[in-house]
Amino acid sequence: MPTVAARAHQAFPVLDQDQIVSAQRFAAAEERRFEPAEAIYRTGDKNVPAWLILEGNIELSRHDGLRSVAPVTSLGSGQFTGEVGQLSGRPALASANAGPDGCVALPFDAAHLRALVVGSAEIGEVVMRALILRRVALIEDGGSGTVLIGAPGSPETLHLQNFLRRSGFPHLVLDSAADEEGKALVQRLAVSASELPLVVCPDGTILRHPTITELASCLGLVPDIAPDSEFDVAIVGAGPAGLAAAVYAASEGLSVLVLDSDSFGGQAGASARIENYFGFPTGISGLALTARGFSQAQKFGATIAIPMAVERLDCDQSSERMVHVLTLAKRIEVRARTVVIASGARYRRPDLDTLEDFEGNGVSYWASPIEAQACAGEEVALVGGGNSAGQAVVFLAPSVKRLHLVARRDLTETMSAYLVERIASLSNVELHVGCELAGLQREQGGMLSATFRNRNGGAYLEPGLRQVFLFIGADPNTAWLAGCVDVDERGFVGTGKQFRPDIDIGRTPFELETSRPGVFAIGDVRAGSTKRVAAAVGEGAAVVAQIHQALAYAR
């Protein structure tokens, strides 16, 4: 059952009179009267307040595909508009008009809405749950937000589709050759095959074969950062460690900027199911878990800029105060009194000469529902023997005809016992232990042939594969640091006094502090860290206490 239908009373709650009186203290301005059918806001409008209705009704509607408009619901006295995007002033995903008798409502802009959900525990719980459920409902519905028009399953379409999915942004995919609406738009605009896919943004803007950055800009996902901005802490990386640091730092009153070149969640966000994270006995998908952290960080007022790549930490600039300069794309500079390196790791790539020809077009480094659907009923191969590989196998196996699992060592040496047992029970999983991927070839019809080499000698060909999934570990994502901080022999960032015994900064280095005072490292990128989601979250919490101490020393 769709989320709104099952939990309508939570998605569209009604505040009682006492709650309304309490909420009024947090309003951004005085109440406003709207005439019958008057437009309150339109889909795509930025910085739209959430409106608490005091009298009358507000009618909500959304885009249904490219042209038609569908009603969402009618809200009455004691109810409020908005979804989770209103916490950060992002573009509205629905339109609102006053009802047939008009309405009177109180505005709560992003800052005042956050003040309400933080300042009143009782009302905040009700409002926050409703905002999240409404976004989930929009994602499930698929007709709101963004329309992606292209060839389903093509590398270009999948690339944009995966970004939208991992960003928690509702979208609809139309086949440019088969769906009448999409086909008509392509013909009307005389779009060539090289210009596909098309993207229709919520405000009606049409993009032709956009990059991720262009798409994010059109959707209003990247906030405007003033050139003279200075933050208490800049966090590079929005995986579990970075998001945890953002939540704790922002909740404790620090001004926080979070930057990530891809999407929130990091490698954990691509995990089909995490079953060994404390408090979730039935498991939770990595995307669902990190989406909660993303919403929490917004709730407490962290500024989140995704996708926004950090090109380098500028170690040449100095100041009498402890201020660090980060250079972003397009030579944008931001300043922060402390920096948290939470950039995690990049997917490790096997040493194959032709690998680039297959990436995004036969080779994937994650297994999402999009890939599972594209591979349904086909044979696939998955290379890797760690927990991430095991979770992907368990996720993909029910959808595919046969899955070839290729691992260099016995699974019991590298994978949790519960995953090993579960894989053993899957009749369509064929194990290739002691083997590694040695080559890839393209077959007719978009299929692949993979060459597997037995480490004890010999090689063999496995033809007829729809997709090859690579889960062979990761390397630290530290190229942007350009030698600014000490790293170990594998490239992971060193922290604590053992990494800089000869530098006198007038105090003992903190446990998570790097060789540069005021710059910290947490999560997978840190040398000696435990590569688990729980450990990353713990370090994200721990680093905030050390940031407070570093800021106190710098005063």
| 129 residue type, one letter | R
DSSP code for 284: B
Residue written as token pair 């919403």: 295
pLDDT digits (tens, 9 = 90+) for 172-183: 899 998 998 889
pLDDT digits (tens, 9 = 90+) for 320-350: 567 899 999 878 899 999 999 999 988 888 8
Band of pLDDT at residue 227, cut at 50, 70 and 90: confident
| H or E segment to which residue 418 belongs | helix 417-424
Structure confidence at residue 47 (pLDDT): 92
Residue written as token pair 């992003």: 110
pLDDT digits (tens, 9 = 90+) for 460-473: 888 899 999 999 98
Sequential DSSP letters for 204-235: S-EEES--HHHHHHHTT-SPP--TT-EEEEEE
Task: Based on the fold, state whether residues 258 and 338 are members of the same structural domain.
Answer: yes
DSSP code for 278: T
- Give the strand order in the sheet containing 198-200: 171-175, 146-150, 198-200, 206-208
Structure confidence at residue 29 (pLDDT): 95
pLDDT digits (tens, 9 = 90+) for 102-157: 999 999 999 999 999 999 999 999 999 999 999 988 888 766 668 999 998 888 99
Domain count, the chain: 4
Task: Based on the fold, state whether residues 341 and 481 are members of the same structural domain.
Answer: yes
3-state secondary structure (DSSP) of residue 23: helix
Task: Based on the fold, state whether residues 245 and 192 are members of the same structural domain.
Answer: no
Q: How many CB atoms lie within 10 A of CB 30?
A: 8
Task: Based on the fold, state whether residues 36 and 137 are members of the same structural domain.
Answer: yes
Rg (CA), the chain: 25
Name the average pLDDT for the chain: 91
State the average pLDDT over residues 487-493. Answer: 92
For residue 66, give the CATH number of its domain: 2.60.120.10
3-state secondary structure (DSSP) of residue 275: coil
- CA dihedral sign, ordered 218, 223, 229, 234: negative
Task: Based on the fold, state whether residues 240 and 210 are members of the same structural domain.
Answer: no
DSSP code for 199: E
Residue 319 has pLDDT above 70, yes or no: no
Torsion (CA) 379, 384, 388, 389 in degrees, nearest 10: 30
- CA dihedral sign, ordered 510, 515, 521, 526: negative
3-state secondary structure (DSSP) of residue 186: helix
Task: Based on the fold, state whether residues 130 and 9 are members of the same structural domain.
Answer: yes
Encoded tokens for 255 = 């001004």
Whether 185 contacts 198, CB under 8 Å: yes
Task: Based on the fold, state whether residues 109 and 209 are members of the same structural domain.
Answer: no
For residue 297, give the CATH number of its domain: 3.50.50.60
Domain that holds residue 258: 230-346+476-554
| 236 residue type, one letter | V
- Is position 224 within any domain? no
Structure confidence at residue 501 (pLDDT): 60
Whether 329 contacts 308, CB under 8 Å: yes
Alpha-carbon gap, residue 103 to 323, rounded angstroms: 49
- Among candidate residues 141, 156, 182, the one where a domain is terminated: 141
